Structure 1
Amino acid sequence: MDHHLLEIIACPICNGKLHFDKKNLELICQTDELAYPISNGIPVLLESHARDLSSLEKK
């Protein structure tokens, strides 16, 4: 994931910072406890495509 892109994109719900999960190819919003998928290198920042973080993933 391009570091410059991570600096300018934000969670579509809270406008908070997203963190890249390299293992699962997802962008994580800890505030909303959601993980947004990355499909073919493109972040899918739609709430309907996000998954809830498991209790183990929450910080």
Structure 2
Amino acid sequence: MSISQELLEILVCPQCKGDIRLTENQDGLVCERCRLLYEIRDGIPIMLPEEAKPLA
């Protein structure tokens, strides 16, 4: 299940309020500025900074 384009257009990084992008395999959202990955679980983006994973 992927996230709708409409939802992607309004979502921002909860930490810096910057733009996010969908990962290539559509399993997460990435904030390049904060270098964080927000996972998508069961079609729901988990937009909590404490749940985000740092990018390598």
* Fold agreement, TM-score > 0.5: yes
Which has the bigger relative contact order, CA under 8 A and spacing at least 6?
Answer: 2
Q: Distance in 1 between matches of 2:54 and 2:26?
A: 14
SS in 2 for 1:35: strand
Question: Which residue of the partner structure matches residue 8 of structure 1?
Answer: 10
Structure 2: which 5+ residue stretches go unaligned?
none
Q: Distance in 2 between matches of 1:4 and 1:24?
A: 15
Runs of 4+ in 1 over 4 A off after TM superposition: none
SS in 2 for 1:38: strand
Q: Distance in 2 between matches of 1:27 and 1:45?
A: 9
SS in 2 for 1:12: coil
TM-score, normalising length: structure 2? 0.89
Structure 1: which 5+ residue stretches go unaligned?
55-59
RMSD across aligned positions (CA): 1.1
Percent identity of the aligned residues?
Answer: 35
TM-score, normalising length: structure 1? 0.85
Question: Which residue of the partner structure matches residue 57 of structure 1?
Answer: none
